[in-house]
Amino acid sequence: MRSLATTPIQGVVGLPPNLWFVALVAAWVLFGLVGHDPWKADEAHTFGIVVDYLQRGDWVVPTLAGEPFMEKPPLIYLVAGAFAGLFQGALPTHDAARLAAGFFVGLTLLFLGLTAREIYGRGFASATVLILLGSFGTIARLHQLIPDVALVAGMALGTFGLALARRTFWEAGVALGLGAACAFFGKGLLGPGLLGVTALLLPVFPAWRTRRYLSALGLAACIAVIPAGIWMYALYVRSPALFHEWFVTNNFGRFLGFVSIGPRSPRGFYAYTLLWYAFPALPLAGYALWAAWRRPEATAERRNLQLPVLLAVVVATVLGLASDSRELYLLPLMLPLSLLAARGLIGLPAFGASAMTLGARWGLGMFAILLWLGWLVLVTGTPARLQSMLLDYQPGFEPKVRWLHLTLAIAITLTAGFVLAARRSSAGRALTQWVFGITLCWGLIATLWLPYLDAGKSYRTMIQSIIRQLADDGCVASLHLGEPQRGLLVYFAQLRTTRLELVPDAQCKTLLVQGYRTTGAPPPSVDWTPVWEGARPGDLKEFYRLYRRDVAPVDIARFPE
């Protein structure tokens, strides 16, 4: 097997390569992890469940605004609650809880790198990690507090166990079992199913057709089934109906489509989404397969690709068979694609490395310059017309220089600019420059532009405006109120609404209705008097109206004013 001519992270200005690698990965993970409110939709309702867990401490039944919420097992909520408690007082609760996402992403990167090293040998771990970080689809999602980060961490650990199973028993069985358990408690049956199908198919290859491998599978099954069985038994004892809702409706119902849960996307959604979502991992993975199969003598090289290829086929097939589809669901597929793409760096033609370097400099670099120029327009007001356009998009945002954000933005710009300016060309350096460019753009968004984005995505100011209009009895009914909004009402206002969908005869004096700009938010009867209406600043879709039935008609308060 050929080795990379240069390591993916090369020493510059005398610093050792591993120092650059650690600094780059840390910057990528930490930027955007704190400093903003929970955003709709996935993160907001996840955090709402964390808030309930912090108040109730129920590890069996996750709840949202006091009601059971059985979409996912409780791992992400428990870990996020632990981080919220650990950093209580040092960080806002939502920022502290979001550190759980960074924890699971760190585990993902660790075990993905170890898998690459196990399969290919030394020198590939950093390349595999950088390809995952440099792919467009992973940037935002791996910085969100969502169950999928726990799923991907479990998948990475389980894949490491499958790679180890070619030569070990105990380590492989423990890693595969713990990975399957982590994936199960992260998002239910999907993760263990993907790992299980892959594990059962691997013996088609001689390296996994051994008694040692079968023993490792038995050990893994014991390790995974015991904690999963304990939680499922506890859930069933608590409520057979809730167990049925989780096990049947939210696992098989979503997948097979016999319940109306989850989004529906057009045919071929994953095929065209992958073209941008998995870039540049997808073309590099394709090159690795082409390079391995075009040379008959590359037998060892093809053996090393067996596990990632099989895992990619299994994940892609399962996603294609599922009735609902979202780009978020592609995250597990990024693991085998990154492993394949790292192998594609070997022998990458010079024009491929040059294209990646040019893309980093002139694509990502120019985007970074535009981010700087746009921020300067916001804070200086020049040109005034362009600033007015930006402010119209986020009403209520007050532009000002935040010196910590500016310092971090300058630091990442100077560092990335120095790396991007390097002229020596190789596949490893080109990948390094690409990921530095990605991190630069993401870092600027997470520093200079984060307050601007948060002004439009946060529900904080809208909820504060609603609270000022409530009746004194503290009873508020709601209609069509979404899960994220219900969770954030508890967090920002300590308010749990009584849903008319569940309690149609509720006697609350106040009613909050969620609707749309195009249709409004009508009340269920003419007895209600509107007292407030509005939406998040700049939100052109959602619309909310607050009603009272103990007041005469009044001038409606509007938010934003």
Query: Given this model, what pLDDT does residue 263 score?
Result: 64
Question: Which residues, other chains included, contact 179 with Cβ-Cβ below 8 Å and sequence gap of 6+?
Answer: 111, 154, 155, 156, 157, 158, 159, 160, 161, 195
CA–centroid distance for 367 within its chain: 23
Cα–Cα nearest to 331, from 137, 514, 77: 137
Query: Given this model, what pLDDT does residue 336 score?
Result: 98
Higher pLDDT, 17 or 533: 533
Which two tokens mark 357?
A: 């370097």
Phi, psi for residue 174 in degrees, rounded to 5? -65, -45
Q: What CA–CA distance (Å, rounded) separates 243 from 233?
A: 9
Instruction: Give per-residue burial for 271-284: e unless 16+ CB within 10 Å, then b.
Output: eebbeebbebbbbb
Q: Is the pLDDT of residue 10 over 50?
A: no
Which two tokens mark 201?
A: 């198919």
**Bridge-based pairing state of the strands 476-479 and 67-68:** unpaired
9 phi-psi bin (left φ>0, alpha ψ -120 to 50, beta other): beta
494 phi-psi bin (left φ>0, alpha ψ -120 to 50, beta other): left
Contact criterion met (CB below 8 Å) for 156 and 370: no
Higher pLDDT, 10 or 290: 290
CA–centroid distance for 92 within its chain: 20
Cα–Cα nearest to 540, from 378, 393, 387: 393
Query: Given this model, what pLDDT does residue 394 score?
Result: 85
Q: Is the pLDDT of residue 152 over 50?
A: yes
CA–centroid distance for 241 within its chain: 30
Higher pLDDT, 361 or 295: 361
Contact criterion met (CB below 8 Å) for 75 and 61: no
Q: What CA–CA distance (Å, rounded) separates 521 from 545?
A: 6
Q: Which runs of consecutive H residues, i.e. helices, occur in 253-295?
A: 254-256, 269-277, 281-293
Higher pLDDT, 540 or 447: 447
Q: Is the pLDDT of residue 69 over 50?
A: yes
Over range 91-108, report the average pLDDT.
Answer: 97
Q: Is the pLDDT of residue 15 over 80?
A: no
Q: What CA–CA distance (Å, rounded) separates 416 from 20?
A: 11
pLDDT in tens, 228-273: 999 999 999 999 999 999 999 999 988 887 776 666 677 788 999 9
Phi, psi for residue 486 in degrees, rounded to 5? -65, -40
Over range 36-41, report the average pLDDT.
Answer: 89
Q: Write the secondary structure of 39-94 as one string of H (helix), E (strand) and C (coil).
A: CCCHHHHHHHHHHHHHHHCCCCCCEECCEECCCCCCHHHHHHHHHHHHCECCECHH
Q: What is the mean pLDDT of the chain?
A: 91
If pLDDT is split at 50, 70 and 90, which confidence band does 2 have? very low
The interaxial angle of helices 170-187 and 190-201, nearest 10 deg, is: 150
Q: Is the pLDDT of residue 76 over 70?
A: yes
Q: How many CB atoms lie within 10 A of CB 383?
A: 10
What residues are paired with 91 via a beta bridge? 88
Query: Given this model, what pLDDT does residue 292 score?
Result: 86
For the ranges 121-130, 138-147, 357-366, the lowest mean pLDDT is seen at 121-130
pLDDT in tens, 463-507: 999 999 887 777 999 999 999 999 999 999 999 999 999 999 988
Contact criterion met (CB below 8 Å) for 462 and 24: no
Q: What CA–CA distance (Å, rounded) separates 491 from 12?
A: 47
Over range 388-394, report the average pLDDT.
Answer: 89
Query: Given this model, what pLDDT does residue 298 score?
Result: 66
Helices (H) and strands (E) in the chain, counts: 25, 8
Contact criterion met (CB below 8 Å) for 82 and 54: no
CA–centroid distance for 9 within its chain: 26
Over range 407-429, report the average pLDDT.
Answer: 89
Q: What burial class does residue 112 get, using C-beta atoms within 10 Å of its C-beta: 0-12 exposed, 13-18 middle, 19+ buried?
A: buried
Higher pLDDT, 43 or 427: 43
If pLDDT is split at 50, 70 and 90, which confidence band does 514 have? very high
If pLDDT is split at 50, 70 and 90, which confidence band does 5 have? very low
Cα–Cα nearest to 289, from 359, 210, 365, 344: 344
Query: Given this model, what pLDDT does residue 456 score?
Result: 87
Over range 538-549, report the average pLDDT.
Answer: 91
The residue extents of the domains of the chain are 40-344, 350-457, 460-559
Q: Is the pLDDT of residue 418 over 60?
A: yes
Q: Is the pLDDT of residue 300 over 80?
A: no
